[in-house]
Amino acid sequence: MLIQISPSGSTPAKPLTGWPLLRLGFRPFYFVAAVFACLSIPFWIALFLGQVNVTMRVAPLLWHAHEMLFGFAVAVIVGFLMTAGKAWTGLATPRGASLAALAALWIAARLTALVGPYALYAVLDMMLLPIVAGILLNILLRSKNRRNLPLVLILALLALANLLFHLSASSVIAVPPMKALHAGLALVVMIECVMAGRVVPAFTAAVTPGLKISMHPRVEQVTLGLTGLALALWVFATPGPITVVSFSVAAGLHLYRQAQWHPWGTRSRPILWILHVSYAWIAVGFALLALAQAGLVNQSAGVHALAIGLTGGLIIGMITRTARGHTGRTLRSSTSEVVAYSLVILAALVRVFVPLAAPDWYVPALIVAALAWCVAFALYLYLYTPWLFSTRLDGKDG
């Protein structure tokens, strides 16, 4: 009797089926997020400067803030979780037609925001997060992976913030729509704090010979707890000294937390230093929000420090690193990626600090920051689109 075995002694891999773009969640969602990043910001700047005349379903500023949060950032979060969820649990996440349906739902919401009735836009926009939360909850419970269950709660709260935004924008409830958007940003920041605390030190230790990073559970608990408190006070309470102190202490704790991750050791590794540099923006953003609560600076500076520096920086860092890993490529940045990283950080620096230092340069600062942002994500698309649309280099599924 002849017995056939694979070279590794394991069962031969099943033949790959289906369009590569729809084999794992990161592929379509990273792609559409990067395209949206390139298109939406020039459109917003043109709206702001009065260069285009479009009848918006909501005020242009609200559209911009909502779409960068619940459009751009949520697309990346969904792509990441639908990819990481499979790695965490060993269970399948949506692929093929079901993954295409999720991506199509996201795209439909973005288009309807501009050309459809508001009610349809709101319904389409509110569907994705509950569906993704349900998918993630299902695989986490089936695999008894309780460590990541808090992420499901944060997704549910993010969906609630989105609901409140649409109810407010439709004048159904008497809540300022910007408050709902601040709540959404706060929840995204919490996701980033949790995930960065896991992946950044792990990535750093993995490539630094002899480095051991000790995570102190009490420091982690206090830092995350005070972060949640400061953000909750910002969203729900009136400006006051308690919020100022909470943000100030939380900023210091995040600096201390990051110092334990040995960020200086990543100077020669751009694919790592972008994560460390981006995470440092949380301390900057919290410090600026503390000053804003005291009436010393405009709140917009702190919001954009968290939205561009922290969120944008972590996104460009993670969508390069995870896409490289899950397409079978080496975890080393090319020159194009280093330029993209630098441009996102430049966009944050210009957008946050130029208006503070020279208010008369506000409009030029917006244009320069927008240009840097767009070129960064255009570089991502130039390099990664062929990879996202093709099979892994190692021939594996995913």
Rounded distance between C-alpha atoms, residue 389 and residue 168, angstroms: 39
Residue 4 lies in a domain: no
pLDDT digits (tens, 9 = 90+) for 257-306: 999 998 988 888 999 999 999 999 999 999 999 999 999 999 999 999 99
Low-confidence ranges of the chain (pLDDT < 50): 1-12
| pLDDT for the residue 14 | 61
Q: Name every residue whose Cβ is closer than 8 Å to that of residue 118 and which is 6 or more positions away in sequence.
A: 57, 58, 169, 170
CA distance 292 to 382: 39
Instruction: For residues 220 and 80, give the distance between their C-alpha atoms in angstroms, rounded to a whole number.
Output: 23
In a domain, 7, yes or no: no
Could you tell me if residue 398 is inside a domain?
no
Q: Structural domain tally of the chain? A: 1
Q: What is the pTM of this model?
A: 0.93
In a domain, 394, yes or no: no
In-domain check, residue 16: no
Tallying the residues shown for the chain, one arrives at 398
Any domain includes 321:
yes
Residue 241, CA distances (Å) to 70, 247, 273, 286, 306 in order:
31, 10, 34, 14, 21
Q: At what angle do helices 74-89 and 177-206 cross, to 10 degrees?
A: 40
Residue with tokens 């695989």: 139
Whether the Cβ atoms of residue 243 and residue 234 lie closer than 8 Å to each other = yes
Exposed, middle or buried by CB within 10 Å (0-12, 13-18, 19+), for 143?
A: middle
Q: Residue 192: which domain range?
A: 23-388
Residue 285 in any domain: the answer is: yes
Cα separation, 336 vs 383, in Å, equals 8
Report the alpha-carbon distance of residue 350 to residue 176 in Å, rounded: 28
CATH number of the structural domain spanning residue 336 = 1.20.210.10
- Report if residue 396 sits inside a domain: no
Contact predicate 154/191, CB 8 Å: yes
Identify the residue whose tokens are 């919290």: 286
